[in-house]
Chain A
Amino acid sequence: MKQEYLKKYVSILSLLSLIVLIFSIDSYAQNGNTMTVKDRESFIKILSGRAASVNTLSAEFRQTKNMEMLQNDMISEGKFFYEKSNKIAFMYERPGKYSMVMNGSFIRMSTKSGSSVMDLSANPVMKQMNDLISAVFTGALDNMSVNYNVDFELNGDKIFALVKPKSTRISAIVSQIKIAFNKHSGDINEIVITEGSGSSTKYIFYNQIINQPIRNEIFTIN
């Protein structure tokens, strides 16, 4: 009698353990780090669709630079502009007024001392960096697999893309970029760039407005 009871007890316990295990696996797949291949493909479609439908993007941004030697982060704020397909502008307003404008293969950096323009097409490393930044800030990650390893993580309502350069020269400058997307819309909420030095810079975008006309002068290089 005792033996039968014990057998039954062990069976129920085993069954219960199995049920718990099944549910654990299921919830790990949904709420843990790994995305299924199907979910990943589905999300890349969302990103591609977004990239196709977004002609312009305006937003406010906050840049936070973390340095080991500083107790607190260094914070800058300003406005971000994007126009399809290769125009990006960061117009910093606080604590100082300066700007970085990317238009095609050209970058113009302006500070209170003046402006400097660089043609990145002559420098393959800088050109690749420029393409990386453009792809990251617009979410157009689908063509990046040639030069970068891109992994996706799901966390609640956000999907994180981890972009790591394959080139050792690029990874010495930028070791990883982590992009936080809204799972449903593909909107970019946050980008964290980790440098080869170990420092990191976080960009948070808010008050995003899509397809609003942007003044041409913002992207002027000369």
Chain B
Amino acid sequence: MRFSLSISFLVSILFVVSGCSSLKEGVWLISTPYSNGGIPSVFNHTEDITMYDFVLTRKGDSVEGLVVVKSDGENSKRIVMTSFFGMTFLDFELDGKNIKINYCIEQLNKEKIILLLKKDFEILFKPDHSPLTKYIFSPAGKIEALQQGNGITRTVMNFNRYIDGFPQEIIISHPWLGLKLKLDKNESNEN
């Protein structure tokens, strides 16, 4: 009896720990009206070029710069992350399924980092990227937050400051990795 109580207690702790930084109030995709498509977008695919200021933070260290996204339809994107001072960090393309790396600095050139960024941007461009996603919607029906996956690669996204139907601030977190990518819409378009 005492042993099974201890096990139950440990299992409860595990559930509590795994539930940290999770969308407790969220609803699964299948429970939304969007289980067959039509989920509200958090990215404006009609803009040819979209720019965000970004801050990538991990355990107190941060890197900042600009993310430039070139859209060629909903499924074809080219993403370049560059510093404000001119240096390109990463240049890759997504087609909805595959990633093609055009350039990557040595410090970011690790498979796990690349696959993590791939997944994050795929979710950004298609919030119903996976059925295993939970959402919180605002009263106006916009996505306020979503969570996909579990364990070490869990992705949590928060969408703030909606203007003209799209969030101006996007925060992408990987709680277990201590990694956060903050995107702020940059309105100074290409010159």
A residues near B, CB below 8 A? 63, 65, 67, 69-76, 90, 92, 95-96, 98, 100, 109, 111, 113-114, 116, 125, 169, 172-173, 193, 195-199, 201
Task: Report whether B87 and A195 are in contact in the complex, using a CB–CB cutoff of 8 Å.
Answer: yes
CA distance A71 to B91 in the complex (A): 17
- CB neighbours (8 Å) of B82 from chain A are 65, 67, 199
B12 contacts the other chain (CB 8 A): no
Q: A65-B82, A100-B85 are in contact. Are A74 and B190 (CB under 8 A)?
A: yes
CA distance A71 to B188 in the complex (A): 14
Interface size class of B (residues with CB under 8 A): 20 to 34
Task: Report whether A109 and B191 are in contact in the complex, using a CB–CB cutoff of 8 Å.
Answer: no
Q: Mark B54-94, 1 if CB is under 8 A from A, else 0.
A: 01000001101010101000000010101011111001000
B106 contacts the other chain (CB 8 A): yes
Q: Is the interface of B mostly helix, strand, loop or mixed?
A: strand
B30 contacts the other chain (CB 8 A): no
CA distance A98 to B64 in the complex (A): 11
Q: Which residue of A69, A72, A173 contacts B191 across the interface (Cβ within 8 Å)?
A: A72
Q: Which residue of B53, B55, B103, B190 contacts A70 across the interface (Cβ within 8 Å)?
A: B190
Task: Report whether B102 and A96 are in contact in the complex, using a CB–CB cutoff of 8 Å.
Answer: no
What's the nearest-Cβ distance from chain B to residue A17, in Å? 50
* Nearest residue, chain A, Cβ from B182: A113
Q: Which residue of A72, A98, A198 contacts B84 across the interface (Cβ within 8 Å)?
A: A98
* Nearest residue, chain A, Cβ from B187: A95
CA distance A109 to B88 in the complex (A): 16
- CB neighbours (8 Å) of A92 from chain B are 84
B11 contacts the other chain (CB 8 A): no
Q: A72-B190, A196-B103, A198-B103 are in contact. Are A90 and B85 (CB under 8 A)?
A: yes
- CB neighbours (8 Å) of B103 from chain A are 195-198
Task: Report whether A109 and B64 are in contact in the complex, using a CB–CB cutoff of 8 Å.
Answer: yes
CA distance A198 to B80 in the complex (A): 12
Task: Report whether B80 and A67 are in contact in the complex, using a CB–CB cutoff of 8 Å.
Answer: yes
Task: Report whether B84 and A69 are in contact in the complex, using a CB–CB cutoff of 8 Å.
Answer: no
CA distance A63 to B62 in the complex (A): 23
Task: Report whether A199 and B88 are in contact in the complex, using a CB–CB cutoff of 8 Å.
Answer: yes
